[in-house]
Amino acid sequence: MLVHACEYSGAPDRLLMSNMAPMTTSNSTYAAWRKLSGTTAGRALFSAAVCLRAPYFRTVLPYVRDLRPGRAEVSAPKWWGVHNHIGTFHAIAACNLAEAALGMLAEATVPSTHRWIPKGMTVSYLAKAETSLVAVAELAEPLDVGGAGHEGVEVPVPVTVTDRRGKAVVTATITIWVTPRRSQR
């Protein structure tokens, strides 16, 4: 099986694959972010649009703070809709926030020639979440889809959820399944 190593180029929305021309990672979600992210109102509009596209994220009121290939940062306020029985941020709501960050990272990172879907999640609850939260999904290395072929490739994405003081309250590894789009097969 031929596997191509990917490297980030100078442009934030491009990957370089060895022995291949630069490949765009832009899709409609990431293109919308690039248009709207220059202002607070634009980021709020983009975050609201994310909730329209993926309604289950609405419960955590996600606000996309940063989005680029290989990294996404999404915050959520602590409000009564995410409280558990002891008044802290519910563990599953924190998982929902982690998945929102993962989804944004995948939208900005997976090439437009491919598609992705979550395949699994491993979570550790480290501490009570007593404040608003920030989830950061970040790949340590550039995404390599060169070996995806017709089979697909699993990509584990680490996500750290921290409280307002920067203390990690949840860590997760969310595995996504990346395959070529049908038109690319």
Give me 13's structure tokens: 């929305």
What's the pLDDT tens digit per position in 32-60?
Answer: 999 999 999 999 999 999 999 999 999 99
Quote the radius of gyration of the chain (alpha carbons, Å): 17
Averaged pLDDT for residues 12-39: 63
How long is the chain? Answer: 185
Pairing mode, strands 168-180 and 114-125: antiparallel
DSSP summary character for residue 90: P
* 121-134 pLDDT, tens digit each: 999 999 999 999 99
User: Which stretch of DSSP H or E encloses residue 31?
Assistant: helix 28-36
Considering only CA atoms, which of 52, 45, 22 is closest in space to residue 112?
22
Domains of the chain: 6-184 (3.10.129.10)
> Which residue is it, tokens 């097969």?
185
The whole-number pLDDT of residue 61 equals: 96
Q: How confident is the model at residue 143 (pLDDT cuts 50, 70, 90)?
A: confident
Question: 133 is written with which tokens?
Answer: 């939260």
pLDDT tens for each residue of 85-118: 999 999 999 999 999 999 999 999 999 889 999 9
Beta strands 133-138 and 71-76 are: antiparallel
Task: Please tell me the predicted confidence (pLDDT) of residue 92.
Answer: 96
pTM for this one? Answer: 0.82
What was the pLDDT predicted at 18?
Answer: 31
Residue 143 token pair = 């995404």
